[in-house]
Structure 1
Amino acid sequence: MNTSHPSNTAAPASREDWHPADIVAALRKAGWSLRRLSVHHNLCPTALSRVTQSPWPKGERLIAEAIGIPPEEIWPDRHAKRLERIARRDQRAAEGLVSRPRRRSANPSPTA
């Protein structure tokens, strides 16, 4: 039996993202399918199936809530990468390397 993923109650054995089949199995144990969960949240029926292959924070949160564990436990690698990107962005902002673009006025004043 493959024990490479954490169970719903055990602490993760590794910091690798769960295999998509393990995610689907955990959803089934909780009484859901990816399709049914997508429709339940008024999404395209295939929307949440994409979460198993590529990052989508909202979809990850919906799946994690259905399983009953935090998204960081299912996708620890994605979560770590997200935190690293945020930290780099904040560091650049603190160093003044990033500036926000000016917002354009909806009604620009006429020039003389």
Structure 2
Amino acid sequence: MSVVIRPKKTAPVNWHRADIIAALHKNGWSMRGLSVANGLSEHTLKTAMTSPYPKAEKIIAAAIGVEAEAIWPERYAKRNFTPVLTLVTNFPRTLATEMQLDAPTSN
């Protein structure tokens, strides 16, 4: 008998802060310079490193040359989550519903 063991899917992992800064430096940007170049305060883009900030995330991603979803997949998985709703068909009838169903029809 053979047993197939499938590895669990790993959750997407956000880039490390140092990797993001290194990628910006490789493209000739600093966090401060990128903030000022986009008309923001000097420290505004640092906010995206610790908490969700879609505008800043898109600016950083554009400077690196990748999609923001690739840098912060955990954040975008939460933002793009669509719950799957199932239709409930076996619900209990109320007394009013039963009375309407049992009422004689006049024809």
TM-score by length of 1: 0.63
Tell me which of 25, 37, 45 is aligned to 2:22: 25
* Structure 2 stretches lacking a partner, 5+ long: 1-9, 86-107
Amino acid at match of 1:47: T
Q: For residues 29-40 of structure 1, what are the structure 2 equivalents within 5 Å?
A: 29-40=26-37
RMSD: 1.7
Equivalent residue, structure 1, for 2:65: 68
Name the larger-Rg structure: 2
CA distance in 2, matches of 1:70, 1:80: 14
Moved over 6 A (4+): none
Identity of aligned residues (%): 48
Q: For residues 97-112 of structure 1, what are the structure 2 equivalents within 5 Å?
A: none
Aligned residues: 75
Which deviations, in whole Å up to 9, do the C-alpha atoms of 1:33-79 show, x marking residues without a partner?
A: 11000000010000001101000111000000000000010000001
